[in-house]
Amino acid sequence: MNMWARRAGVIVLAGSLLTVSGCYGTAVSLAKCTAKEKKSLFVEQDFAAGSTLRVRNEFGPISICGGNSTQCQIEGRVYVRAPTRHEAEEIGEQVRIVAEPNDGTLMVTSDIPSLEEDRSVWVDLRIILPSQAHVDCETGFGRVKLIGIEGDIRAHTEFGAITCKKITSGNINVQTEFGGIYVACEDESPADLVADVRTEYGKIRFKAPESFDGDFDIRTELGSTGAKLGVASRDQWTHSHKTGAAGSGKGKLFLETQFGSIKLR
C-alpha cells in the first residue's frame, strides 16, 4: 500500500472509530436520560475462591471487580423507557437480577420481561467478588470492565469496549465486534500466559507480564502494529503483521483487529 493510500485509510479509520464511539455514548445517554423509571437491585451470594462467575446481560454494561470479599455482591442499576411513567414502573417491577449457584458456578442474569415496541430496559451490572475467581461474562450491548481477576477470563460483547486491569490470569479470551480493547497484566501473571484478543472495529492495547515466555502473533487489516517485548526471534515483521517469540516457553498471545492499531508491550 503506498503512502497516500495508507494515509487515506488512516483518516477513514479515525473517522469511523469516532463514529462508533459516539454511537455508543449516544445510546447510553438516551437509555439513561429518557428512562421514566430508575431503580437499583441488590443481590448477595456466597462465593468460594476458585469458583466460576458466569454473567449474561442482554442490554447494558458489566463491571466486575476482584477483592478480598467472601461473597459475590451484585448491584443492578435499571433504566426503563416506556411511553408513560406508570407503564415504566410496571415494567421495572418485573425486572430481576437472578443469581443461581450450581456445582461451583454462579450464574448471574438480568431477567427482563417481553417488551413491546418503543419500550426498553437497560441494566448496568456492577459486581464485587473474590479475586481468585474464574470469570465468563457476556453482554449484547455494553462495555465490559474487569479489575483484579486472578482466574481464567472470558469477556464478550457485541458493541462496546473491553477493559481488563490488574490482571494476573493465565488464560484470557476477550472479544468485541465494535470497540477497543485494553488489557494490562500484572508482572505476577504466569510466564506461560495464553491470550486470545480480537475486535472487528477498534484498537488493541496489551501489556504482557515482564516474564512472558512464548510466541506472539499480532495482526490488523487496516492500521499499524507494534511490539515492545524482549523479542528473542522474529518470523514475520511487517507494518500490519508481526509474529515472533519472547523466549521458548509455552505462552501464546494472539491479538487481532480488522480496523485499528495494535500495541503489545
Q: Nearest Cα to 130, choosing from 50, 76, 190? A: 50
Q: Report the distance separating Cα 29 and Cα 27, nearest Å.
A: 5
Sheet containing 96-102: order of strands:
96-102, 105-111, 52-57, 134-139, 153-159, 171-178, 194-201, 251-259, 214-222, 241-246, 233-237
| pLDDT at residue 7 is higher than 70 | no
Model confidence pLDDT, tens digit, residues 203-215: 999 999 999 999 9
Q: Residues 97-126: pLDDT tens digits?
A: 999 999 999 999 999 999 998 899 999 999
pLDDT bin (cut points 50, 70, 90) of residue 11 is: very low
| Count of other CB atoms within 10 angstroms of residue 186 | 15
Mean pLDDT of 42-67: 96
The torsion angles phi and psi of 71, rounded to 5 degrees, stand at: -130, 165
Q: What is the per-residue pLDDT for 183? A: 98
Tell me, what's the pLDDT at 126? 98
pLDDT at 230 over 90: no
pLDDT of residue 33: 74
Indicate whether 24 pLDDT > 90.
no
